[in-house]
């Protein structure tokens, strides 16, 4: 963690809060979210559906929901995204940051060829037609598509999900972005393909020295892939820790509960322990700690105020009594 030089972060989210208008007043979706990604670093963003992880990275590209109100600061490679104009955002999306979505099938226009898709992206980045074609073939080869020149003429429907996700990754990397936002890039793929796509992403990321945010709901995957993992619950960050640290000794009861709910291959066979209750939206959380009514360790003190992130071992956790050893 502590290197002598601290390179300027490619993504810096500070105290980000976001709400959308609802029938009775604004509905909060994110509260005080913080996130730092430096070049060459992979940061995992983990949480259940609706915890705000996708919303956070969309905000990094200026893709906030209609009529959303935001507070805080989001900086991508020096650009203040929340106050950026349309042209600045377009430049940001074309050159600085790229995104890979969950379902590759849905994220390309099915009626055009792969070649047209890649060339279009490159041309928008200011590359001329012939160079764009050559570069597209090269990119396809780099992401492991066989016979890339022929693949250029194929339609998305002719590729398997994993292969198409490789094509999408090629497209995302075509403009040499400084920041790659991967929004559950493997969720729609089968398990063996998942591993291939993940290793492709991480090797490309290391090669290019990009910063990467890896959004997933798979805590084990995040712990294996990421330098740091940020765990979100109900629109708030509840724990930040190095990947292996998080896995070994979770400091927040929610993280621990997530790990306990995951079936393991090793060790004695035990019944899976589901987290009691259901994931809540930020708007319906109780006072104080958002997790307290699902937490087995909560007491009256937890209801008083939202706990701040505090250092505990290798983690920062938003909990009054962090660490398994403190729990009954």
Partner 1 sequence: MTLTVPALRARRVRRNRRGPVAVVGAAVFLAVVVVAAVAAPLLAPYSPDATSLLDSLLPPGSPGHLLGTDSTGRDVLSRLLYGARLSLLAPLGVVLASTVLGVAVGLVAARGPRWADLLLSRTMDIAFAFPSLLLAMLAVAVFGAGLAAPMVALSIAYTPFVGRVVRSLAVQEGSRAYVESYAVMGFSTTWVTLRHLLPNLAPALAAQAALAFGYALIDLATLSFLGLGVRPPESDWGSMIAQAQPAILQGLPASAIVPGVTVLLTVIAVNLLGEHLGSSVGRTDRERA
Give the residues lining the site for partner 1 (CB under 8 A). Answer: 61, 63, 89-95, 98-99, 101, 103, 106-112, 120-121, 124, 157, 171
Please say whether the beta carbons of 139 and 151 come within 8 A.
no
For the bound state, the minimum distance from the C-beta of residue 214 to partner 1, rounded and expressed in Å, comes to 17
For the bound state, the minimum distance from the C-beta of residue 273 to partner 1, rounded and expressed in Å, comes to 35
Pairing of strands 236-242, 228-233: antiparallel
For the bound state, the minimum distance from the C-beta of residue 128 to partner 1, rounded and expressed in Å, comes to 18
For the bound state, the minimum distance from the C-beta of residue 147 to partner 1, rounded and expressed in Å, comes to 24
For the bound state, the minimum distance from the C-beta of residue 48 to partner 1, rounded and expressed in Å, comes to 21
Tokens of 23: 């029938």
Nearer to partner 1 by Cβ, of 63 and 306: the residue is 63
Phi first, then psi, for residue 243 (nearest 5°) are -50, -55
**Sequence-separated (6 or more) residues with CB below 8 Å from residue 53:** 45, 46, 47, 215, 232
Nearer to partner 1 by Cβ, of 171 and 250: the residue is 171
Nearer to partner 1 by Cβ, of 63 and 242: the residue is 63
Task: Write the DSSP symbol of residue 95.
Answer: I
Nearer to partner 1 by Cβ, of 99 and 295: the residue is 99
Nearer to partner 1 by Cβ, of 107 and 315: the residue is 107
Tokens of 289: 């700690």
- Token look-up 């996708």 returns 54
Please say whether the beta carbons of 122 and 175 come within 8 A.
yes
């Amino acid at each position: 963690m502590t290197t002598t030089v601290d390179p300027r972060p490619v993504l810096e989210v500070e105290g980000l809060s976001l709400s959308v208008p609802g029938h009775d007043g604004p509905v909060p979706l994110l509260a005080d979210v913080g996130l730092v990604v430096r070049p060459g670093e992979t940061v995992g963003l983990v949480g259940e559906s609706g915890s705000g992880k996708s919303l956070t990275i969309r905000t990094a590209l200026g893709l906030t929901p209609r009529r959303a109100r935001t507070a805080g600061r989001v900086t991508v490679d020096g650009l203040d995204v929340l106050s950026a104009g349309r042209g600045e955002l377009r430049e940001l999306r074309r050159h600085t940051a790229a995104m890979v979505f969950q379902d590759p099938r849905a994220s390309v226009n099915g009626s055009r060829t792969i070649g047209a898709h890649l060339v279009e992206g490159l041309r928008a980045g200011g590359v001329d037609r012939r160079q764009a074609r050559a570069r597209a073939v090269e990119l396809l080869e780099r992401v492991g598509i066989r016979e890339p020149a022929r693949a250029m003429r194929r339609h998305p429907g002719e590729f398997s999900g994993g292969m198409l996700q490789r094509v999408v990754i090629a497209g995302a990397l075509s403009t040499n972005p400084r920041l790659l936002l991967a929004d559950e890039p493997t969720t729609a793929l089968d398990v063996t393909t998942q591993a291939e796509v993940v290793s492709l992403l991480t090797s490309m990321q290391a090669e290019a020295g990009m910063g990467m945010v890896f959004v997933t709901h798979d805590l084990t995957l995040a712990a294996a892939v990421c330098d740091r993992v940020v765990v979100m619950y109900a629109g708030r960050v509840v724990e930040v820790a190095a990947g292996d640290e998080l896995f070994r000794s979770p400091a927040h009861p929610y993280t621990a509960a997530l790990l306990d709910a995951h079936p393991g291959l090793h060790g004695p066979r035990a019944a899976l322990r589901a987290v009691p209750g259901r994931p809540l939206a930020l708007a319906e959380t109780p006072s104080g700690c958002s997790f307290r009514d699902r937490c087995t360790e909560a007491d009256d003190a937890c209801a008083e105020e939202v706990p701040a992130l505090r250092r505990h071992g290798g983690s920062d956790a938003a909990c009054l009594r962090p660490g398994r050893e403190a729990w009954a």
